[in-house]
Amino acid sequence: MAILITGGAGYIGSHTCVELLNAGYEIVVLDNLSNSKNNSLDRIREITAKDLKFYQSDLLNKEELRTIFTKNNIEAVIHFAGLKAVGESVSIPLHYYHNNITGSLILCEVMEEFGVYNMVFSSSATVYGIQDQVPLSEKLPLQATNPYGRTKLMIEEILRDIYISNNNWSIALLRYFNPVGAHPSGLIGEDPNGIPNNLIPYINQVAVGKLTDLKVFGDDYATHDGTGVRDYIHVVDLAAGHLKALEKVMKVKGVDAYNLGTGNGYSVLEMIKAFEDVSGRDIHYKIVERRPGDIAISYADVTKAEKELQWKAERGLKEMCEDSWRWQVNNPNGFNSDINDKKKLISL
């Protein structure tokens, strides 16, 4: 029996593959490589000394998806595949709605056709939108404010409706906060196409001179230093959360949502300072205007995940920055970097 991981060559997907293989699962990866690299799969094999099956395919291709289910004895799906840039989703919303929602619908149709009812879905804290309280709990009303977040919210609602129609389904909706870091081996990490959308990869590229400075969007928020506060979680902790969610859906029917975060918030300036301390580099930044829709403070209430999944984030801010920096230095060109000479790998 195997676990199908859609989008498994991506940032969070690749780290989850490592956790699953190390836990003894057989995995099948589906990825269209639109925002990921095939090399990441070789790195996964190197870290774990285990093999995996890979299909370069797209969820929008129903016949290819059916072939994957026909050729493999799939018992559960961890569903990462989807477009994920908030700003881009505002520019091309139809593309996001079509890709993320239609792809998920096709996946669910094929799963039901083959009698596979266990799913862990990669959702997002963006489903909470703008709230007037923190920490953010799963009980809050949902109100996504951009097309990317709305695709996640719509898919959550679709999955709830599917369960109502067929109680054989067992689904965990995992709402991520801000994933950062990389595998401590330095072999896999975040490798964005073009200019990074997320804070730590951007800081990384400023630190190594690929970008000149970091834009800090606003310094007049009602926070201790005026910059936005977010809940940053190490990607290895996040991957471990998927393993715990998978264990739950394999045992208990139903559908439920869980926050995956640390329950702590750090400001942008705190993140810059922590990264400077680890890297020994000055991170040049400039304050620019706030982005529309950004909020002052966002961090997770993680009580439910701790209680029902027996999961808790273990890695702190220093480890997040160390592992991010190790990945960047060892892989200046991302997965296109040569890692054959292991003497190049730094340790911090």
> In which region does residue 141 sit, left (phi positive, over 0), alpha (psi from -120 to 50) or beta (all else)?
beta
Instruction: Return the active site residues.
Output: 148
8-44 b/e with 16+ CB inside 10 Å = b?
A: bbbbbbbbbbbbbbeeebbbbbbbbbebbbebbbebb
3-state secondary structure of 33: coil
How far is residue 50's CA from residue 35's CA, in Å, rounded to a whole number?
24
Sheet containing 266-267: give its strands across.
266-267, 229-230, 297-298
Burial class (CB in 10 A: 0-12, 13-18, 19+), 211: middle
Number of other residues whose CB lies within 10 A of the CB of residue 235: 25
From CA 250, how far away is CA 240, in angstroms rounded? 16
Any idea which residue has 């370069």 for tokens? 56
Give, to the nearest 10 degrees, the angle between helix 235-249 and helix 11-22: 60
65 close to 110: Cβ distance less than 8 angstroms? yes
